[in-house]
Every structure is written in C-alpha cells, then in structure tokens.
C-alpha cells in the first residue's frame, strides 16, 4: 500500500529520509507515548476533578513542570540508554 501523494512528494524532496510503517498498535516504538504516559500519571492519575477548568489547570501545571525539567523529557523521548555488555 502506497503512503499517499503528499508523503511521496515529501520523500522525493528529502531523499535523506526513509519512510517506515509501524505496526497498527506499537506505543513502545512511538517516542511521544512515553511522554504522554508520564504526563497523564503526573496530571490526572487517581484524581477526580470537580470541573473541566480544574483538569486543565492540572495539565497546565504538569506541562510547566516538564518545561522546567527538559532533560527528563529528552531522556523519555530518546529512550533508555543501551546497556554495555561486558565480554
């Protein structure tokens, strides 16, 4: 199955890129999923919000936290460092 005309054009314009299909459900292969998991845990886990405004405030506060600790977000997105195997 071809990716589609916009993708084909982008690939022609950027020959250094490679198109790869991911399995239909593969959160472990999608780096942003690790961040969403941490954000959900920090902002909404085991909490009941009285209003939508309270929920939004919690999410905003969590996003501000992650802005302050960008190195944590970067490590989440890049994945875990590979372990060196000893010979």
Confidence of residue 50 (pLDDT cuts 50, 70, 90): very high
Tokens of 52: 């939508």
Query: What is the pTM for the complete model shown?
Result: 0.57
What span, in angstroms and rounded, lies between the C-alpha atoms of 84 and 45? 34
pLDDT tens column, 8-37: 898 899 999 888 877 878 777 778 888 888
pLDDT tens column, 55-84: 999 999 999 999 999 888 888 777 765 555
- Kindly report the backbone phi and psi dihedral angles of residue 70, in degrees, each rounded to the nearest multiple of 5, phi listed first: -60, -30
CA 83 to chain centre: 22
pLDDT of residue 45: 93
- Kindly report the backbone phi and psi dihedral angles of residue 18, in degrees, each rounded to the nearest multiple of 5, phi listed first: -130, 130
Q: Cα torsion at 67, 71, 77, 80 (round to 10°)?
A: -150
């Amino acid at each position: 199955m071809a990716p589609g005309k916009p993708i084909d054009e982008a690939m022609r314009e950027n020959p250094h890129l490679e198109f790869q299909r991911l399995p239909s459900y593969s959160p472990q292969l999608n780096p942003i999923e690790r961040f969403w998991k941490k954000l959900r845990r920090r902002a909404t886990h085991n909490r009941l919000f009285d209003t939508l405004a309270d929920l939004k405030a919690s999410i905003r506060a969590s996003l501000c936290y992650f802005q302050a600790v960008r190195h944590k977000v970067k490590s989440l997105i890049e994945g875990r460092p590979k372990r060196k195997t000893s010979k």
